[in-house]
Amino acid sequence: MSHTPSPGRYADMKYVRCGNSGLRLPLVSLGLWHNFGKVDPFWRATNIILKAFDSGITHFDLANNYGPPPGSAETNLGRIIKSELYAHRDELIISTKAGYLMWPGPYGDRGSRKYLIASLDQSLMRMGLDYVDIFYSHRFDPDTPLEETMDALASSVKSGKALYAGISNYPPEETEMAAGILSDLGCPCLIHQEKFSLLRPAANKGLGRVLTKNGIGCIAFSPLAQGILTDRYLNGIPEDSRAAKEHGFLKKEEISEEVLNKVRALSEIASGWGMDISDLALNWVRSHDFITSVLIGVSTPEQLDANLRIIKLDPFTAGQMEKINSVMRSTNN
């Protein structure tokens, strides 16, 4: 029997207009990069997705290569939608991407029209969907004319296989150019997906300005720096953590004493404000004007509950932001 969603699922979540579009995204979105592949327990993936949906998370983010093995996160989400949420497809925003290596040979990687269009067809097949809501170019490809990559996005939208076009990991200058091309093609760039956290604050510099100027939304990925900006690693590397997993993208070397000192300093501020480090890290990201949604990952329903606490928080004041930023600056020395 398919899932009966909570009738109160839209009561608490905040929905934020994505750039100049009419699409509103939940303040917290859920990504399926880790924990939803064939290697992960399917029952747990199902529980997390359904709990997220019941909490007002309408947006689930994928890419062709999420797994492992690559593609299996899309297959799993497709199974969950088919068995549990099919009647609610119109309440869901499903995104996918193409840009990194997916299949052998010269047409399974980067930014060509050949790759993007074939990849989107494969993604739709794996998920059992007629269309995705957002189709992204996953990265800028200097070896493909930007016009070709953007035309592939625009024709995906015009063919009805995607409703909106997005870009991810594009530097500010290329973002501005991509936005111009898409706009000329009659398919405005909806959204930019960028790595943005207290440990990776670069988007704050040029990208945020470009996005605001061009009316493009911004969804911040890895806002917890893959789990470093939580209490997960303060006492070593837990066996069930991303850093301990062979297929995890978080490398143990990234959790240096220097980084942990920053986390400890943030933890002190957070506890003074009655928060956890993760609350502080997520709320710091959402407190930037150019941010539409904070794109989290979780390995348990409990982590999801914890991360949803930011919905109840107000954005930080300028004074609070300065306090956090000054701690980050001072621990850089």
Shortest distance (Å) from residue 107 CB to ligand NDP? 20
| Chain contacts with ligand NDP (rule: CB under 6 A) | 31-35, 61, 138, 168-169, 193, 221-227, 230, 232, 241-242, 278, 295-299, 303, 306-307
**One-letter amino acid of 260:** L
CA atoms within 13 A on the CB side of 154: 18
**Is the Cβ of residue 305 or residue 322 nearer to ligand NDP in the bound state?**
305
Match 């899932």 to its residue by tokens. 3
Shortest distance (Å) from residue 215 CB to ligand NDP? 20
d(CA 316, CA 111) in angstroms, rounded, equals: 38
**Is the Cβ of residue 214 or residue 241 nearer to ligand NDP in the bound state?**
241
Determine the Cα angle at 6 with ends 46 and 128, to 5°.
40
Do 146 and 179 form a contact (C-beta atoms < 8 A)? no
End-to-end CA distance of the chain: 57
Contacts of 276 (CB under 8 A, 6+ apart): 230, 231, 270, 306, 309
CB atoms within 10 A of CB 213: 11
Q: Is the dihedral of CA 60, 65, 68, 73 positive or negative?
A: positive
**Is the Cβ of residue 2 or residue 45 nearer to ligand NDP in the bound state?**
45
**Is the Cβ of residue 49 or residue 186 nearer to ligand NDP in the bound state?**
49
Do 32 and 77 form a contact (C-beta atoms < 8 A)? yes
Shortest distance (Å) from residue 73 CB to ligand NDP? 8
d(CA 80, CA 76) in angstroms, rounded, equals: 6
Shortest distance (Å) from residue 192 CB to ligand NDP? 10
Q: CA-based diameter of the chain, in Å?
A: 57
**Is the Cβ of residue 33 or residue 164 nearer to ligand NDP in the bound state?**
33
Pairing of strands 24-26, 15-17: antiparallel
Shortest distance (Å) from residue 287 CB to ligand NDP? 16
Shortest distance (Å) from residue 7 CB to ligand NDP? 26
**Is the Cβ of residue 7 or residue 246 nearer to ligand NDP in the bound state?**
246
Q: Residue 217's beta-bridge partner residues?
A: 191
**Is the Cβ of residue 203 or residue 224 nearer to ligand NDP in the bound state?**
224
**Is the Cβ of residue 112 or residue 193 nearer to ligand NDP in the bound state?**
193
**One-letter amino acid of 321:** M
**One-letter amino acid of 70:** P
**Is the Cβ of residue 152 or residue 330 nearer to ligand NDP in the bound state?**
152
Q: Give the three-state DSSP class for 77.
A: helix
Q: Is the peptide bond before 68 cis (omega within 30 degrees of 0)?
A: yes
**One-letter amino acid of 294:** V
